[in-house]
Structure 1
Amino acid sequence: MRVLVTGATGFLGGAVARRLVQGGHAVTGTGRDPAAGERLRASGVKFMSAELRRPAEWEGLLGGVDAVVHAAARSTLWGRWEDFV
């Protein structure tokens, strides 16, 4: 199965992406941390940097994908409500 994992440079998304690769799936992961993206590549995950708040980014990411695991989120204790929506 071809799976897109958003937030793959984070703790949860990275764990899911690596486990899916171990299970024999073709995984593309997105995230904002290039160093973490390189570590994902070393684990067999195809890494793509993407700004998920732009609809045009999704078109390129979803082509040929069978499933999406959405693990991207703003994770902080502080911030404006609008930044979390």
Structure 2
Amino acid sequence: MHLQGITPLHDYENILIVNEEGRTIFYDMADLSILQHLGFKPENFIGEKVTHLYKDLPNEESTILIVLQSGEPLCGVTQRLTAQNGFSYSS
């Protein structure tokens, strides 16, 4: 397996990994802090589709789901997200 050119995950902040359906399978400690502000416990987040956690976030507007569908990265794109409890942040 050729691994040159692959950046280790520890070089990034706010890592969220989803499966092909857009369901969360991993998040890092930075995302855990955000989850707590959103009123979620970690066990309530794993396995959930990312769009279900936010108000007014249809699949067509989720940057995560857009990348999953297109297979192309979205660089430099900021998305404003509002959780069901009203907490908002940019990602």
Would the TM-score normalized by the shorter structure come out above 0.5?
no
TM value normalised by structure 1: 0.27
Greater RCO (Cα-Cα under 8 Å, separation 6 or more): 1
> TM-score by structure 2 length?
0.26
